[in-house]
């Protein structure tokens, strides 16, 4: 049974309209979140405010993982809290930050080290261009909000269709079909793996910008030789 046929038959009963739509939306959101967590693919940037002498920065609630942090165009290196404690003895120096402590700091918080000694305003524009040299910019993998932050559209519908059918056929009621549910569960897992690998090739795989070695021939240039009129002419040392 196709997704369209299943949806049409189920919605023919007016009493099921709201329940069906809520179930379909819930399952679709659940599947999208599952994919985005296992294969992060929604990238965004924020530029929070920096206050002098305060080293804690609160991250947005939809952060899955941090990809990069720059401070006025310079990349900050991640520093585990344990290393910060053992190497720097919880130092409190102030100056231009070079690291960010990313764990054991607080829920959705990072700590800049050294502590900034200047104020930087927050902004929402120019984060991919003109404002990079002037702001603290946090680039991170975002959880979907199911409105504007979505997984890539070129496979989204096909992937979520399998997840919705898996859950719909598994629900108790006259539409339950455990065999079909098992089929769509396996189909979803295969599609998730396929599209996850595709994303890795398209977005995360490093490009080869420099040719390393000969690609079409193993010809090497010959040894340099003197002009023909110099053959057999002796040269004294120092000349």
Residue boundaries of the structural domains of the chain: 3-39+148-202, 43-142
Q: How far is CA 137 from CA 56, 121, 160, 198, 215, in A?
A: 14, 11, 32, 28, 41
Q: Which helix (H) or strand (E) holds 143?
A: none
The β-bridge partners of 5 are none
Per-residue pLDDT of 76-122, as tens digits, reads 999 988 888 888 888 889 999 999 998 877 778 999 999 999 999 99
The β-bridge partners of 44 are 140
Q: What is the mean pLDDT of residues 1-26?
A: 68
35, two tokens: 């994919």
Handedness of CA 140, 146, 147, 152 (dihedral sign): positive
What percent of the chain lies above the pLDDT cut of 90? 61
Q: Whole-model pTM above 0.85? A: no
pLDDT at 5 over 80: no
Q: Tokens 């455990």 belong to which residue?
A: 178
Q: Are 64 and 36 in contact (CB under 8 A)?
A: yes
Q: What is the CA radius of gyration of the chain?
A: 29
Residue 92 Ramachandran class (φ > 0 left, ψ -120 to 50 alpha, else beta) = alpha
């Amino acid at each position: 049974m196709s997704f369209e046929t299943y949806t049409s038959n189920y919605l023919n009963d007016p009493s099921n309209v709201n329940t069906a739509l809520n179930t379909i939306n819930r399952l679709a959101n659940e599947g999208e979140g599952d994919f985005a967590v296992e294969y992060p693919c929604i990238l965004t940037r924020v530029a929070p405010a920096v206050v002098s002498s305060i080293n804690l920065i609160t991250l947005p609630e939809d952060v899955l993982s941090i990809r990069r942090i720059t401070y006025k165009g310079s990349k900050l290196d991640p520093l585990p809290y344990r290393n910060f404690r053992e190497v720097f003895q919880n130092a409190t120096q102030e100056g231009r930050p070079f690291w960010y402590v990313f764990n054991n700091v607080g829920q959705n918080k990072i700590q800049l080290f050294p502590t900034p000694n200047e104020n930087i305003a927050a902004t929402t524009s120019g984060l991919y261009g003109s404002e990079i040299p002037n702001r603290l910019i946090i680039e991170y993998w975002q959880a979907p909000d199911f409105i504007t932050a979505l997984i890539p559209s070129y496979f989204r519908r096909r992937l979520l269709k399998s997840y919705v059918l898996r859950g719909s056929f598994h629900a108790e009621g006259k539409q339950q079909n455990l065999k079909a549910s098992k089929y769509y569960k396996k189909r979803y897992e295969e599609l998730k793996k396929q599209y996850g690998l595709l994303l890795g090739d398209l977005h995360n795989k490093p490009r080869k910008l420099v040719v390393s070695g000969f690609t079409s021939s193993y010809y090497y240039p010959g040894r340099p030789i003197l002009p023909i009129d110099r053959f057999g002419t002796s040269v004294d040392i120092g000349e």
